[in-house]
A and B are shown apart, each in its own frame.
Chain A
């Protein structure tokens, strides 16, 4: 979790308090009917309560009033526990939405009449802004709505949305041109073209997403609900017909007490998963939000679990943003120190990361300290697209560094040529995936600097984990195939696409999808938008352009492309949690039969006492124990539902074996000792 995120949360106690209140509000049958399993429990509770009230009139030895009353109370608890789980899960989302809403408050906007700074503007409410209006925002102003910077550069505090307190730079053009409503300008100014109408902004969508997490059911949740409803229906039938069967089989004299039938029904229907299902979904969404990713739909999270191809940009995801110098390869007859010295000198004012890394490497390898510049009439030549070199002119030296062909032209003009040993070094570096920079001083070729892409630490292991769980990773890069293949091999990706263009990316996604694959990708630039729109899971960087954010179905507020891997894990974890609790819930039923069936027939068929393998004290305590277990297990599993089942990347076979063992076999076995224990406690209390 990001520390910044934690700070904008309500204290847990406030969430708990609100959850307690919502627990009771959710008893409203109109709301509960959306969850058929829990609705049946509520109907059962009402039924049992009525039976309790009537039991005073004609007490029966089979079902004394204390017994009916206890059953009724615990049935109510079952509903309340399930409501509490849901309320607790919703609480976190609500707290977050409240924070976001504070950022959305109406602000004033300076609507420009002409698209230039200094032109006249109206002061209007942000609610009056429409798409394509132009506004100016200056230091201290809140950005009135989502938009695209068309002029200016400014530092912006986006902590209201991202929770990240460090300011970010927003400027016109390029991939950092999007601003979000509710963020604050810290310095300078921007002219922004508004891109959304009121009520339709990114913040609005985020709030509704966070708030309504419980209302939208994801596809798998719908399927699961169908299954649970069907099972509930059949168990309803089982219990109702059992009454008839027992009466018939016993010759018509006696039958099973009504309250026992209700208890049997509630114990048989899948209340555990039914009660926790929506909490699992909401909590999954919440976990995603905790990693600072906002999904635009629940469907997207689920799709993340299904993804089997990840398309990852090389830069920023697989490698650190920039290339770094790793070696100096001097030409024949040149001392390595001379080369390093010249290279360092030529890079002194080069503020690019590559340039800085050269300075650092020279210092590290040869202890060459950056020379004092004062007093020397050094003339630094910055890198230009025309010459594709940079360097320095000082004391008659003309030191240049650049790509081979650029430097070759320079040397030729000076009347020299590149020696073969340097050509060989250049080729060798290129083949290994690095970038060679040739360093010359006039016609004297000093040698080559080896610049290398640095693969992020630990990324190789993460790709290996992805590979194990059957997800193919594809590296996307603009590099040439040789460089790309070297980095791909080093990072351990399964495949790569070199010299990537937006069209090539889109084509690849389409091709993969035609083969039945589900593709996830990250992107930030406007030219990523078509591919993002095509991908099944598309994580747009918050720092990216508006077009990219519109096209994605998730937005990463931290703009960290590596997070795609976490998103996949969260998607899977949510599905696993649902499956595990479903299995657990169904497996529980076996033991409940052993508890309730002998007890239910105690007065009709005493022979069935042989099935009372748990040796429960009395029919009443047996039934009550099963009902109490059924209620308490919901509470016991709330943490699991909210945090999700432990997920470690492994093959499907291994995951299945592990989860079947824990939740299948565990679900079969666990209730036996638990019910026995509850029975002993009831016995102790005098039941």
Chain B
């Protein structure tokens, strides 16, 4: 194990916290109407852009209008991406003459990118034309991320406002997210990535003669191999920043053209976590109560670190089955990992990408140790709130906070209230919906897939590991993560359709209740706080929040995890226990 890597980890988290704090403050300035920073400059851009699509920036929407605009815009996005894929063969910018994408895959992909999931039931470079990748998928990378941020801001507004029927303007929030946060950050990041060797070109590809003429995806008869190129850096930047995760290449960030060096690896991990982490602080600043932001950030960190350490320890330990065969395991479990990253940072990436709803990968999660794989499953199954997606992590976390406040609030002898807003049956109903819909999709979807008679032909493994592969796919889709365990052939029509349904339900059946709560809270008066009020800015509340998340997440998935990774782990180590 590389000593440098061990030093890098704590350093990484310190930098991450500092950058999150700074970015959080910046984003607060962006979303606050009286943006202090360069208001005139940014305001004029914003007005001009909104003017072009005929939106008045000062028009305020009720939650229903907000939701309607959001859903319609997303639906149109899906339609456009779907159509582009279906007609890519007659559209320009298709150097490899790729044929039209199969209908169910096109549908799955359209839904996947618009819902910020970026589940890829296809191999990017050999399925999608440049036009689709650049003006279909990458555009949605921005818009889906912006949508998540907009919803988070709308919910925050609901908590701040009093006796108002409106929660802001979707278009304004979306434009601000994209124009002032995602776009500038993506440009900077792509520059950094290009400096590390990530490709950004319109050249069609490099033709090379391989050492082994049988290798590669070129024509084996002449020993030539074509390595595709493309405008990769720009897509990688937003896929990392916007918790999208859909890579340009099939092997995602394990591909040297997406993630060439150790430094680019660390930068990309940072990009995964940055905006979700910063949103906690943005929330605190927008409220005018920074401690509230710290508590959310702290809760996420408390959940993230131990689970990550468990995963990292498992990966560093190596595979006992291989060790028994005499394979050196001192560098950890390197199966399915890039040697240039090593076991530890690969484990960090894997944890980060599942804990946020990013889903990009730099190693094969299928090859993780069972308990390490369980950690990744759990991060998604907790509802993508451990940092979570951009925006969606915050609003998901706030739904859990509402649940936690509800139970704890009763215990202090008052009708539960969060940040001065009374939580009543409507909020309870909506919060429960948003928290319970994704796990329901995971359970039902996985069960349905298990019941498909010949599903095992789509799997690389039978038994518990095969089960984990299915469970992972549905956990990933329903929680809008998008990473794949691997081992499951997801292009099978049954899976493309059911997973697409899970993605839609997991996205919009969370967003709708969240917006409904925003609308309902905005209408309420704020109750002045006193010593009889449950304080939500204390370490005690942080523990309570963590406990509630674990309880709801764990209680729902303990049996499923037991028949998957847990049993696999026990079987793997059972031989060791049997023959010491």
A interface residue numbers (CB < 8 A to B): 219-220, 222-224, 226-227, 230, 233-235, 237-242, 244-251, 264, 268, 302, 305-306, 308, 468-472, 514-518, 571-573, 575-576, 578-580, 582-583, 586-587, 589-590, 593, 597, 601, 605, 607-608, 610-611, 647, 651-653, 655-657, 659-660, 663-664
Contact = CB atoms under 8 A, between A and B. Distances in A.
Please provide the 6 A-B residue pairs with the shortest distance between their CB atoms, ordered closest to farther. Answer: A579-B410, A470-B532, A572-B413, A470-B530, A579-B411, A607-B570
Interface string B532-563: 11110010100010010001001110111011
Given A251-B462, A572-B413, A607 B574 contact: yes
B570 A306 contact: no
B463 to A, nearest CB: 6
Given A233-B436, A571-B413, A610-B570, A241 B447 contact: yes
Contacts of B566: 608, 611
Contact of A471 (B530, B534, B560): B530
Contacts of A250: 463, 563
Given A241-B447, A516-B528, A607-B570, A655 B538 contact: no
Interface in B466-494: 466-467, 470-471
Contacts of A576: 410-413
A601 B527 CA distance: 51
26 contacts: A220-B416, A226-B429, A237-B444, A238-B556, A238-B559, A242-B559, A242-B560, A242-B563, A250-B563, A308-B527, A517-B528, A576-B412, A579-B412, A586-B407, A586-B555, A590-B554, A593-B558, A611-B566, A651-B532, A652-B412, A652-B532, A653-B531, A655-B412, A656-B408, A656-B534, A659-B411
A248 B414 contact: no
B410 A575 contact: yes
A73 B414 CA distance: 39
Nearest to A468: B531
Given A234-B440, A516-B525, A582 B407 contact: yes
A608 B567 contact: yes
Contacts of A308: 527-528, 530, 532
A205 B444 CA distance: 49
B204 interface: no
Contacts of B403: 227
Nearest to A308: B530
A652 B533 CA distance: 6
A608 B408 contact: no
Contacts of B410: 220, 224, 575-576, 578-580, 582
A45 B355 CA distance: 40
Contacts of A268: 555
Interface stretch (B32-40, B113-121, B417-425): B417-425
Contact of A220 (B415, B446, B470): B415
A245 B538 contact: no
A227 B547 CA distance: 17
Contact of A516 (B420, B433, B443, B470): B420
A411 B432 CA distance: 79
B439 interface: yes
Contacts of B411: 576, 579-580, 583, 655-656, 659-660, 663
A653 B529 CA distance: 13
Contacts of B519: none
Given A219-B424, A238-B556, A601-B563, A515 B528 contact: yes
Given A234-B440, A664-B547, A653 B540 contact: yes
Given A238-B560, A249-B466, 4 more contacts: A245-B467, A249-B463, A249-B467, A572-B414
B428 interface: yes
A656 B531 contact: no
A536 B429 CA distance: 25
B532 A471 contact: yes
A651 B538 CA distance: 14
B447 A244 contact: yes
B430 to A, nearest CB: 10
B396 interface: no
B469 to A, nearest CB: 11
Nearest to A220: B415
A219 B443 contact: no
Interface in B197-214: none
B409 interface: yes
Name the residue in A235, A250, A583 with the highest tally of chain B Cβ atoms < 10 Å from its Cβ: A583
Contacts of B531: 468-470, 651-653
Nearest to A239: B559
Contact of A469 (B409, B420, B532): B532
Nearest to A582: B407
B563 A246 contact: yes
B527 A575 contact: no
Interface in B245-287: none
B571 interface: yes
Given A249-B564, A608-B567, A226 B428 contact: yes
Given A248-B467, A647-B413, A605 B535 contact: no
Nearest to B451: A244
A664 B471 CA distance: 31
A4 to B, nearest CB: 29
Contacts of B429: 226
Contact of A226 (B425, B533, B551, B567): B425
Interface string B314-332: 0000000000000000000
A241 B444 contact: yes
B413 A573 contact: yes
A151 B562 CA distance: 80
A534 B289 CA distance: 33
B526 interface: yes
B432 A226 contact: yes
Given A234-B556, A470-B531, A516-B527, A305 B413 contact: yes
A596 to B, nearest CB: 9
B450 interface: yes
Name the residue in B446, B466, B551 with the highest tally of chain A Cβ atoms < 10 Å from its Cβ: B551
Contact of A653 (B428, B433, B528, B535): B535
A583 B534 CA distance: 16
